[in-house]
Each structure stands twice: as structure tokens, then as C-alpha cells.
Amino acid sequence: MIDFINFLNKNSKISSECLNELKAIIKRKTITKGGTIINTNSHSKELFFITKGIIKFCFNGDGKEFIMRFFEENILFGDIESYFKNRKSKYEIIAIEDTEYFTFPISEFEQLCLKHHSLETFFRNFMVIANLNMMERVSEILEEDAKKRYINFTNKNPKLLNRISLGDLANYLGITQVSLSRIRANM
């Protein structure tokens, strides 16, 4: 649990009392490659912190899969849309490697945020960073064509590259897998 605590403390110092209360709501889980952590149409109410493995955070449209983001070790994430809009999940979370993770209910986390100002500050900073990431993703999709986006991804995520299938990468870039294969052939 050390990694998760370090992650929490990185932005704002969390008291040991708060950490203990956090530990009480955290569960450890594992899932095998290809397994589903949350389903479309489920009501997702948890946050997740991966200690080993990768997942894809994705959704289905007209039979095709689109990937919002990959999450690997030491990142906190969750389907906050489902929780905050109180609706069934549009998204799926699927393990693309055997994955180990911590999970806890957002509602209980929010209760702790109300009690511990420093945790609320952490949560706010966490949302700021999540937002900056999404903004960067929007601006890149608007500005660059698929070839450029592929090159950018390989530069920014050299380590992820070997752990992700071409098809998943294509679904992340927003093009077909055949199209990505063609782009690579013409480089």
C-alpha cells in the first residue's frame, strides 16, 4: 500500500489519522487479462489504483471500441461520470494484462474529504491533473492527424508501447487498426 500512500502525499500531506481511515475502506483485488473491472450499464461507484498491470478505459459506439485512456501502475482513476452524474456507466474498464489494484468507494472517499481538508485538497489537485490530461488529449486530436498522433504516442509512452496491442492503440488514436497498420508501413 506504500505506493498509494506516496501518491496521496505527493500533492498535499495527509495526516496519519486520515490515512488510517482511508486504509479501512480500501480493498485489494486482482483480475486476469481480458477481465472486466466495470461494465457498461453498471453503476460504477469506486476509484481504482493499480499496483501491477494495465487497464483500458473505453466505451462502445456502434459496435466499435474507443479507448479514452490507458491506466498503468501508480495511477488513480475511476468512472467518475457514472458516480457524479448518478447514471449507468457509459464506459468499461478492461484489464489488458493480469492486474492487481486497490479499490474503494467514492462516496466514502468523499466523506473523508469532508472530514479532512487535506484530502479534499488532494482530490482537487487530482481532478486538476485529470483535466489537464484530457485537455491535452482534445487539443492533440484537434490539431494533429493520425500519423502525428501515433508518433507522439510512441514518444510519450515508449514503455507502454510494448504492452499494448496495435488494435488497442488504434482504438485510442481514433482510427481503425487497419489504418494504423498502414501508417506504420509508410514510415
Partner DNA sequence: TAAAAAATTTATCATTTGATAAAAAACTAC
Partner DNA sequence: GTAGTTTTTTATCAAATGATAAATTTTTTA
Which positions touch a copy of itself (CB under 8 A)? 59, 61-62, 64, 66, 68, 80-81, 84-85, 90, 113-114, 117, 120-121, 123-124, 127-132, 134-135, 137-139, 141-143, 174
For helices 117-143 and 2-11, what crossing angle results, to 10°? 90
**Shortest Å distance, C-beta 150 to DNA:** 9
**Shortest Å distance, C-beta 185 to DNA:** 4
**Shortest Å distance, C-beta 31 to DNA:** 15
Phi and psi (nearest 5°) for 55?
-125, 160
Would you state the cell numbers that stand for residue 173, as one nine-digit string?
Answer: 488514436
| Side-by-side strand order, sheet with 99-105 | 27-31, 99-105, 46-52, 76-78
Nearer to DNA, 114 or 185 (CB): 185
Distance between CA atoms of 158 and 155, rounded to whole angstroms? 6
- Residue 179's binding partner among DNA, a copy of itself, none (Cβ under 5 to 8 angstroms by kind) is DNA
- Residue 139's binding partner among DNA, a copy of itself, none (Cβ under 5 to 8 angstroms by kind) is a copy of itself
Nearer to a copy of itself, 26 or 68 (CB): 68
Nearer to DNA, 107 or 165 (CB): 165
Nearer to a copy of itself, 34 or 174 (CB): 174
Does the CA dihedral 89-116-101-172 come out positive or negative?
positive
Task: Count CB atoms within 10 A of the CB of residue 151.
Answer: 13
x/- track of binding to DNA for residues 125-164 (CB under 7 A): --------------------xxx-----------------
Give me the residues that bind DNA (CB under 7 A), please.
145-147, 165-167, 174-185
